[in-house]
Structure 1
Amino acid sequence: MDSIIFDLDGTIWDSIDTVLLAWNSIVEENKQVEKKLTRRDFEGTMGLQMDDISSKLFPNLDLNTRTQIIKQCFEIEGKYIEEHGGALFENVEDVLHNLSKKYKLFIVSNCQQGYIEGFFRYHKLENYFLDYENPSRTGLTKGDNIKLIIERNNLSKPVYVGDTESDLKASRHAGIPFVYAKYGFGNVSEYDQVIEKFDDLLDLF
């Protein structure tokens, strides 16, 4: 193994409370939406891309309306992330510091542009990661973005760490081992390795 590619939400941190602030500031301005979004609403969207998130959160709205609202939410989300950050899982920085001495570290997440950048700026963790990618920048699926990171950085034996079934599928699509972050937001049908907490990575690798 020469590298570790991470999912972000549910794997490195929990940003749901901050994202709720951002999205509900948009929801309150749209009379078509009957109620504020809740943490439970968001937990069911982890790992999904924009179209799937919009249909899940706003199922009663027509496609054009929910697409417009979701775009507004994503546009403001990065600003809130940069200003408020999120809740890092326990010992994240210490673990990243130690892992980065042995492995190349990367992030591939199904987020919008500005989200990973906001994470870096608020928590000052950018020095641990050599590269990152997301679908809003490339137009690719998570699996293809993992492949892109592998190709762009000439990786030979990477693994992917994530917490949802879509993370598993992306890993399989990219043809690399999947490490399941069991403490995260989702459940998976299979995995190659499992961690109960973030610092279990130090024992695993």
Structure 2
Amino acid sequence: MAAGKKTIIFDLDGTLIDSLEDIAVCMNKVLEELNLPIHKIDDYKYFVGSGVDVLVENALKGHSLEIKNEVLKRFKKEYDQKLHENTKPYEGIYELLDELKKLDYNLAVLSNKPHDFTVQYVDYLFKDYGFKEVHGQKVEVPRKPHPIGAIAIAEALNVPCEEVFFVGDTLVDMKTAKSANMKAIGVLWGFRDEKELNEHGADFIVKHPLDILEIVKK
């Protein structure tokens, strides 16, 4: 039984993996193909975090639903082909996971990235770490910051929500943690800043992955 184990749910993009360049390159390629304006890579820090539909919406403000649907279809195909090209774990993530594995903690992922892509990334980059629950965006499940996905993970692992740490880099993750009655850890190496994390309920702020160890071991 998993009951009683320390449990940590991680966001994926901006928390475990630096995927911004691949997202930006793929979206900009699609936009160029359709003669639409492209965006700087840094702009995508504010486009991501709420799922691929919102990413498209943010990249295409003011355009028709028909154009948005075409971009969404093309982006998914393009991104699938280049899934691991430039994406890699942030510095210190493997060291953190090595320590958490030694401690035999429950590890999980909850992302607003499409479920298939989320599973592929975890299988590709983190296959040695025994993530017990890995969930991306699914049609039938409300995406973060709705708490249902996080609560379902806690229930699957038989751990009370209030004992779970939720680690993420955006207001979406902090809101998810608070709504699910979990402890929110905001990371500063991702896509957003300390002000945003604090304003949306971060219980802890960390500057390096190994800082998480000091919090969860208490």
* TM > 0.5 fold call: yes
* Alignment pair present for 1:178 and 2:189: no
Instruction: Give, in angstroms, the shift of residue 9 of structure 1.
Output: 1.3
Which amino acid in 2 is paired with 1:165? L
Instruction: Give, in angstroms, the shift of residue 151 of structure 1.
Output: 1.7
> Which of 3, 14, 19 is the equivalent residue of 1:10?
14
> Which of 39, 42, 61 is the equivalent residue of 1:40?
42
Deviations 1:112-157 (A, max 9, x none): 133223323442x123211111123643222221112112222232
What SS class does the counterpart of residue 160 from structure 1 fall into?
A: strand
Aligned length: 201
CA contact (8 A) 1:106 1:132 kept: yes
Which amino acid in 1 is paired with 2:169? D
CA contact (8 A) 1:85 1:122 kept: no
Indicate the residue corresponding to 2:56 in structure 1. 54
CA contact (8 A) 1:135 1:145 kept: no
Instruction: Give, in angstroms, the shift of residue 191 of structure 1.
Output: 1.3
* Alignment pair present for 1:101 and 2:106: no
Deviations 1:29-85 (A, max 9, x none): 213x1x223212211123113333222110121123213312321233233124x15
| 5+ long unaligned stretches in structure 1 | none
What SS class does the counterpart of residue 205 from structure 2 fall into?
A: strand
Rounded Cα–Cα distance in structure 2 between residues aligned with 1:9 and 1:38: 18
Rounded Cα–Cα distance in structure 2 between residues aligned with 1:4 and 1:148: 13
CA contact (8 A) 2:51 2:114 kept: no
Which amino acid in 2 is paired with 1:161? V
Rounded Cα–Cα distance in structure 2 between residues aligned with 1:78 and 1:65: 20
Indicate the residue corresponding to 1:194 in structure 2. 205
Rounded Cα–Cα distance in structure 1 between residues aligned with 2:170 and 2:123: 25
Rounded Cα–Cα distance in structure 1 between residues aligned with 2:18 and 2:181: 27
Rounded Cα–Cα distance in structure 2 between residues aligned with 1:39 and 1:87: 16
Check 1:105–1:185 CA distance in 2 against 1; reply closer, same or farther (3 A cut): same
Rounded Cα–Cα distance in structure 2 between residues aligned with 1:87 and 1:127: 15
Q: How does 1:110-129 map to 2 (within 5 A)?
A: 110-123=112-125, 125-128=126-129, 129=131
Instruction: Give, in angstroms, the shift of residue 197 of structure 1.
Output: 1.1
Check 1:20–1:51 CA distance in 2 against 1; reply closer, same or farther (3 A cut): closer
Query: Identity over the aligned pairs, expressed in percent?
Result: 22
Rounded Cα–Cα distance in structure 2 between residues aligned with 1:92 and 1:18: 19
Indicate the residue corresponding to 1:92 in structure 2. 93
| 5+ long unaligned stretches in structure 2 | none
What SS class does the counterpart of residue 63 from structure 2 fall into?
A: coil
